[in-house]
Amino acid sequence: DDSIPMPVTKASCPKCSNNDAYYWTVQTRRGDEGATEFYRCTKCKHTWRNYGG
């Protein structure tokens, strides 16, 4: 397995309420807007996002 390990942060999963999630950011919109933060639950693997301001 040559995948790069993702950092873990404290974030509450909306599906199972676990408090640890992997996270990464992606610039999905214009450059003058905040990046989109993606989270993946370490327990149930549910993925969700948070749009930056």
Catalytic member of 2, 20, 33, 37: 33
Catalytic member of 1, 2, 20, 32: 32
Catalytic-residue membership of 37: no
Structure tokens at 25: 């950011």
Alpha-carbon distance of 36 to 25, in angstroms, equals 6
Count other C-beta atoms under 10 Å from residue 39's C-beta: 22
Catalytic-residue membership of 32: yes
**What residues are annotated to the active site?**
32-33
